[in-house]
Amino acid sequence: MKIISAPESLGSDANQSKSVPAVPVALATQDIRRNRHAIIEGGLSVESLLGDIISFYFFGEVHPRKEIFELMIVRANWCSYAEKVKLIKVIIENENLMEIEEKERFENELAQVSKWRDAFTHGSISVDVTEENMGDISLSYFESKLIKELITDALLTEIENTITEAFNKSLWVYSYLKKRQDSPVFSY
């Protein structure tokens, strides 16, 4: 299979100086691209698991209409991450799966997963090439207003922990529902 190469932008700051040390900038951008990929993949993994929970909640493990439900509803473009989160909230509420504080924390984590996945998907990354901030990496994205955030190890750790917690809690909800044999709402 052919591996395509795509242009890689360093943002508008990339051409400000002719004396940019190429190796540190290249290493920094390589690392952030790996992290960007991990954040996007982590968000997609959470979304996929939410879809699995919704599908299982309505149809259990095996059902003749489960596959078509997943294709037409859960995996369809119009059933966005936000819509899946709304459905998960209803499932958690209907099944009384979490205390209020835990549910609010989970909802916040799910919102943060969406925020960071969207920011790293649609935002732009820039590397500062000025002498005083050489190699600083920023993410610019729009969230009601333009935001430019310095990407630090602490921020990356926070994002990683949030995605991990959201995934683990989603997995807990899924496992809990699977342990209950009466999960399917519809029985034909």
Cα-Cα end-to-end distance for the chain? 45
3-state secondary structure of 3: coil
Tally of CA atoms within 13 A in the half-sphere of 37 that contains its CB: 6
Residue 105 burial by Cβ neighbours in a 10 Å radius (0-12, 13-18, 19+): middle
- Residue 55: per-residue pLDDT: 94
Give the phi and the psi of residue 146 in degrees, each rounded to 5. -70, 130
What torsion do the CA atoms of 152, 123, 116, 76 make, to the nearest 10 degrees?
A: -160
DSSP state at residue 186 = -
- Residue 67: per-residue pLDDT: 87
Tokens representing residue 55 in the block: 């599908």
Tally of CA atoms within 13 A in the half-sphere of 6 that contains its CB: 3
Please tell me the pTM assigned to this model. Answer: 0.80
Domain ranges (residues) in the chain: 21-178
Q: Identify residue 172 by its one-letter amino acid code.
A: W
State how far the alpha carbon of 47 is from the alpha carbons of 7, 19, 43, 51, 143, in Å: 29, 43, 6, 6, 20
Give the phi and the psi of residue 35 in degrees, each rounded to 5. -65, -40
- Residue 95: per-residue pLDDT: 92
Report the distance separating Cα 188 and Cα 180, nearest Å: 18
- Residue 32: per-residue pLDDT: 87
Give the phi and the psi of residue 150 in degrees, each rounded to 5. -75, 130
Tokens representing residue 110 in the block: 């799910």
Alpha helix segments (H runs only) across the chain:
22-59, 66-69, 81-95, 100-122, 153-179
- Residue 1: per-residue pLDDT: 32
Q: Point out the residues of the chain with pLDDT beneath 70.
A: 1-28, 134, 181-188
- Residue 66: per-residue pLDDT: 85
161-180 pLDDT, tens digit per residue, is 999 999 999 999 999 999 88
